[in-house]
Amino acid sequence: MTSEVYRVVQWATGGIGKASIRHLVENPFMELVGVLVTNPEKVGKDVGQIAGIADVGLSATDDKDAIVALEADCVHFAPLVPDIDMVCRLLRSGKNVISPLGPFYPTEDCREDVEKIDAAAREGGVSFHGSGIHPGYSGDILPVTLARLTGRIDHVRVYEIADFLAHPSPWMERLGFGQDPGELAANPRRSPDAIGHFVQSMAMIAEGLGKKIDGLTAETKFAVATKDIKHANGVIPAGTVAGQRYEWTASVDGRPLITFSQIWTVGHDDIEPDWDCGNGRYRVIVEGEPSLELTLDGNATGRNWTAFAGLTAIPAVCAAEPGFVTHFDLGVVRPRGLVR
Ligand SMILES: NC(=O)c1ccc[n+]([C@@H]2O[C@H](COP(=O)([O-])OP(=O)(O)OC[C@H]3O[C@@H](n4cnc5c(N)ncnc54)[C@H](OP(=O)(O)O)[C@@H]3O)[C@@H](O)[C@H]2O)c1
């Protein structure tokens, strides 16, 4: 045990919540004091059982009032759908909140939520921080950090790459794979307006470089299978969609500066065009003088990365001045309990 132990609540036990429970149980600087579930089958179960580890002697509850009444330093808030009013209640009860649902950075699209959260946090004397792998890390803190290693920036590119041949989904058809490219173009799986929270990440990059975004464009591209591609859940017929590329570009001072690309492929060998996007799962490229590139890959899932991005920030968020805090407010985060 250490003298500096953070009492933490895990809110929701999906992929991120389970990863979070496993870490909170192992980290000597963290004490898991409550777990909120919505699924009635999980209520009353030992939270270790829910997370796939040995029993930890704590039962999951669906009693939100009991969680609000708990004495805790921080809530890692990871349900499927946002609930800003609940986040504000937790903050007013004196608990810091870290959430992979955001908001991540104050922009016009989330101004109202940020203002509500900021007011509730100040009332509770605590802080709120939006965290995660993307948004929250790969297209936020990584590009801004990499910018320290160059002398001029012409363009920042952030790629999120999902290979559905290596990691098959049961929803390949629903995702648009195997469709006629013309039909999918008329009804793309991601609307050009669906940039969502990523616009906050782009704003953080721009403002981190002392600039403001003054325009946003979207582009969608498809690649087709050059032959039938067999995957774990079926076949993508030759000539149908085997790759989807959703791309948003933000301009600054009237010229394109930041591009975020989401690339979904079914392998790389039998699709045309081959976007040559590499094997990593995230890539950050800073074009300039000098240019540089960073690839993020490893044996964790994106949900694990998302859990860790939030949990490692607990000491920093608990120590921050009350209010809505971004990476800029937290500075260099110093994780605790990882070396053990
Ligand atoms: N920032 C990032 O990088 C990032 C990355 C991945 C995901 N996310 C976001 O993080 C959130 C959680 O992701 P996940 O992968 O853990 O999701 P998930 O596996 O689908 O689990 C979400 C959990 O939310 C609870 N839930 C289900 N339906 C709900 C509803 N209608 N209202 C409230 N809660 C509900 C359930 O908890 P119980 O089973 O405990 O009842 C469920 O297990 C999502 O909103 C996702 O968009 C962010």
Q: What percent of the chain has pLDDT over 70?
A: 99
In a shared domain, residues 236 and 145: yes
In-domain check, residue 136: no
Query: Does some domain include residue 307?
Result: no
E runs forming strands in 172-325: 213-225, 229-231, 234-236, 241-252, 255-265, 271-272, 282-288, 292-296, 323-324
Question: How far away, in angstroms, is 24 Cα from ligand 1 center?
Answer: 18
Q: DSSP 3-state assignment of 195?
A: coil
> What residues contact residue 234 under an 8 Å CB cut-off, 6+ apart?
172, 173, 178
* Lowest mean pLDDT, pick from 114-123, 128-137, 186-195, 315-324: 186-195
Q: Whose CA is nearest to atom 25 of ligand 1?
A: 79
- Cβ–ligand 1 distance for 312 under 6 Å, the answer no
Using the atom order of ligand 1, give the atom closest to the CA of residue 134. Answer: 3
Q: Above 70 in pLDDT, residue 192?
A: no
Find the 199 Cα to ligand 1 centroid distance in Å: 21
Domain count, the chain: 2
pLDDT at residue 1 in the model: 46
Residue nearest to atom 23 of ligand 1 (CA): 14
**Residue range(s) defining the domain that contains residue 95:** 6-131+313-330
Residue nearest to atom 19 of ligand 1 (CA): 14
Instruction: Give the pLDDT confidence of 96-108 residue by residue, as tens digits.
Output: 999 999 999 999 9
Q: Are residues 150 and 277 in the same domain?
A: yes
User: From the alpha carbon of 62, which atom of ligand 1 is closest?
Assistant: 41
Ligand 1 close to Cβ of residue 337 (< 6 A): no
Q: pLDDT tens for residues 250-271?
A: 999 999 999 999 999 999 899 9
Asked if residue 10 is part of any domain, the answer here is yes
Provide the pLDDT for residue 50. 98
The lowest-confidence range among 91-105, 187-201, 205-219 is 187-201
- Residue 331 φ/ψ, nearest 5 degrees: 70, -150
> pLDDT, tens digit, for every residue of 171-185?
888 889 999 999 999
pLDDT band with cut points at 50, 70 and 90 for residue 26: very high
Quote the ligand 1 centre to 76 CA distance (angstroms): 12
Q: Kindly state the average pLDDT of the residues 279-283.
A: 87
